[in-house]
């Protein structure tokens, strides 16, 4: 070991330390941004440390530069360009590429560098290919579903899919068993194909509402894939960082499931919530009997006299890009002396925390975003609640009706407020396809229209009245 | 074999560390945290670089290494930047009261 090597090892250790501190800091609002920078710094250090130890040749440098330029540039552009509303699919895309990288490394070693590979290396290659392929195809399928490119085929809602997935899993297992005997032959390719299809087969049946959980789980997988790649190339830093992300991702997945009152098992194997009978039935007015609808003017009149207003933003708000109009309206109401706050359900938006990001983008003060536990006791003394593109998270059936599929899910108790306006495009069902008892309550009125258009109308009404 | 047992210890301790680090996370931060952790999982860049440096002139290894480096760096750079973009929105609220 020469001095340069020693220096490289020390940098490695420092990188692990900074990565751990970064991951820890990311779970606290105050430190999150600097923690993210710290983690990025750690990554840079790790790369420098590796280059010091490995000392690539001129050809090596060339190929490193090519990969760096292409990947880095594309990453830079994507991160800059992507709209905040598309965050879940962006994370899925990045994640899939991470899985792909681990997969390629393992394939490359298996095909061209397995000369001195022992059993450990072969097992690592199997794990890396298996998990990497699932991460890649699963993430891309998740992204496709979130973007609306992929639907939920009807066969995936029947028990056929379990048969298909089990067959794929068995194929992967068999090829994994035969791979050590024939490291470059057909078992490797069978493993690759079976794992890739398995990733799609597992992700495709899952409904849109559960997709964040899946992405979080796939994120955990990409950590596992990185750790496996660490075994393949013999890098302890890679193992430790991959294991860290894998474990942290599992915890995060668990936290998200708890917030949505879903178990991981039912997300993965239960199919789209609401059962096959409801799927695809876009939903119309069927089932609702006592719906009162009102115009934006009437809603504005109620707002003008209200002293305490709570907005409940949901994914519909994000889709309509209405967060800026919402901020505008709340400024007007505050100018009139009303107390305005925002009730944020843990899974508002399409990912936990997604709504906070979107509202922060529209300059909503952080203190006005209230979490469910804080805001629920406040609803009885709230004059007007405006629900914007949220549905299942305000469904009182989750508390009252043990028959409801939502029963037990923590919800915002907006039915306690004096007056509730629900801004909605149509009477279509929510993600879960479940009837919402809130809409039929006597204090509830529906304001039909696009969230942004309605909010702008409300703004001009309130402005002209004052 | 000692290097294997060493690697397994590293795996075990790394996993335990990951379990401990994410204890209580406010829901606000779930999305940025997922995105940040995702960027870290792009640490596979190290494997890609190792592949290239150990390629010994084998063109297949060089190309596969370079492609996987591209994928991994896409993950890393994109992931960290997008996380920063999200978190910048929170921190602006705290300091930028005068705006």
Q: pLDDT (tens digit, 9 = 90+) per residue, A281-309?
A: 333 444 677 788 888 888 988 888 889 99
Min distance A421 CA to chain B CA atoms (Å):
25
Residue A82 Cα distances to A77, A87, A149, A445, B7, angstroms: 8, 8, 17, 36, 38
- Contacts of A390 by beta carbon, 8 Å cutoff, 6+ apart: A312, A313, A314, A315, A316, A317, A345, A348, A412
Best of B7, B13, B59, B78 to mutate (most A CBs within 10 Å, chain A): B78
Q: Domain spans of chain B?
A: 24-95
* pTM for the model: 0.78
Which residues of chain A, if any, have pLDDT below 70? 1, 114-117, 157, 208, 259-261, 270-287, 349-350, 428-433, 466
% of chain B surpassing 70 pLDDT = 89
Owner of token pair 């915002």: A412
Q: CB-hemisphere CA count at 13 Å for A375?
A: 28
What phi and psi, each to the nearest 5 degrees, are found at residue B68?
-70, -30
User: Which of B10-14, B22-26, B63-67 is predicted least confidently?
Assistant: B22-26
Tokens, residue A249: 């991702």
A contacts of B13 (beta carbons < 8 Å): 240, 243
| Predicted local distance difference test score (pLDDT) of residue A181 | 78
Please tell me which residue of chain B has the smallest CA distance to A51: B49
Q: What's the rounded Cα separation, in Å, for the pair A156 and A200?
A: 11
Min distance A444 CA to chain B CA atoms (Å):
28
Owner of token pair 């809603």: A299
| Predicted local distance difference test score (pLDDT) of residue A126 | 92
Tokens, residue A205: 């049946």
Closest CB to A97 among B30, B65, B75: B75
Angle of CA points A289, A291, A295, to nearest 5°: 160
Q: What's the rounded Cα separation, in Å, for the pair B75 and A94?
A: 5
The answer to whether residues B21 and A27 touch, using CB atoms and an 8 Å cutoff, is: yes
Q: What's the rounded Cα separation, in Å, for the pair A408 and A399?
A: 6
pLDDT band per the 50, 70, 90 thresholds, residue B97 = very low
- Cβ–Cβ gap A101/B48 under 8 Å: yes
A contacts of B37 (beta carbons < 8 Å): 23, 26, 219, 223, 245, 248-249, 252
């Amino acid at each position: 070991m020469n001095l340069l090597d020693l220096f490289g090892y020390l940098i490695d250790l420092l990188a692990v330390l900074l990565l751990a501190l970064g991951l820890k800091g990311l779970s606290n609002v105050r430190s999150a941004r600097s923690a993210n920078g710290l983690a990025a710094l750690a990554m840079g250090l790790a790369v420098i440390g590796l280059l010091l130890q490995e000392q690539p040749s001129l050809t090596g440098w060339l190929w490193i530069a090519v990969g760096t330029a292409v990947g880095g540039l594309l990453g830079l552009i994507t991160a800059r360009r992507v709209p905040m509303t598309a965050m879940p699919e962006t994370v899925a895309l990045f994640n899939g590429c991470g899985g792909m990288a681990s997969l390629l490394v393992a394939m490359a070693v298996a095909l061209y560098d397995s000369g001195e590979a022992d059993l450990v290396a072969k097992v690592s290659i199997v794990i890396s290919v298996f998990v990497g392929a699932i991460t890649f195809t699963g993430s891309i399928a998740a992204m496709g579903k979130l973007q609306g490119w992929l639907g939920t085929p009807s066969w995936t809602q029947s028990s056929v899919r379990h048969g298909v997935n089990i067959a794929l899993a068995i194929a992967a297992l068999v090829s994994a068993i035969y791979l050590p005997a024939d490291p470059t032959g057909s078992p490797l390719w069978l493993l690759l194909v079976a794992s890739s299809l398995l990733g799609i087969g597992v992700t495709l049946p899952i409904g849109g509402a559960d997709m964040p959980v899946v992405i979080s789980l796939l994120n955990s997988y990409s950590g596992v894939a990185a750790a496996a790649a660490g075994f393949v190339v013999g890098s302890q830093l890679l193992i430790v960082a991959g294991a860290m992300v894998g474990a942290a991702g599992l915890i995060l997945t668990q936290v998200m499931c708890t917030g949505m009152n879903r178990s991981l098992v039912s997300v993965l194997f239960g199919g789209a919530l609401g059962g096959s009978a409801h799927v695809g039935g876009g939903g119309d007015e069927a089932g609702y009997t006592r719906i009162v609808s009102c115009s934006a003017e009437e809603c504005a009149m109620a707002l003008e006299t209200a002293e305490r207003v709570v907005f409940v933003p949901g994914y519909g708000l994000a889709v309509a890009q209405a967060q800026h109009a919402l901020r505008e309206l709340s400024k007007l109401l505050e100018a009139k002396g009303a107390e305005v706050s925002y009730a944020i359900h843990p899974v508002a938006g399409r990912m936990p925390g997604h709504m906070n990001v979107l509202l922060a983008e529209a300059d909503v003060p952080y203190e006005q975003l209230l979490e469910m536990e804080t805001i629920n006791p406040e609803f009885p003394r709230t004059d007007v609640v405006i629900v914007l593109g949220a549905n299942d998270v305000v469904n009182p059936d989750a508390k009252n009706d043990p028959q409801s599929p939502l029963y037990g899910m923590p919800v915002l108790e907006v039915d306690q407020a004096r007056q509730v306006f629900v801004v909605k495009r149509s009477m279509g069902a929510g993600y879960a396809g479940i009837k919402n008892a809130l809409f039929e309550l006597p204090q509830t009125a529906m304001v039909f229209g696009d969230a942004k258009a309605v909010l702008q109308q409300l703004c001009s009404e309130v402005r002209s009245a004052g | 074999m000692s290097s294997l047992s060493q690697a397994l210890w590293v795996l075990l301790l790394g996993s335990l560390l990951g379990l401990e680090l994410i204890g209580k996370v406010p829901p606000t931060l779930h999305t940025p945290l997922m995105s940040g952790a995702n960027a870290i999982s792009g640490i596979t860049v190290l494997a890609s670089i190792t592949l290239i440096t150990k390629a010994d002139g084998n063109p297949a290894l060089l190309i596969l290494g370079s492609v996987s480096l591209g994928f991994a760096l896409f993950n890393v750079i994109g992931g960290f930047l997008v996380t920063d973009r999200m978190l910048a929105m929170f921190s602006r609220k705290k300091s930028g009261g005068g705006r």
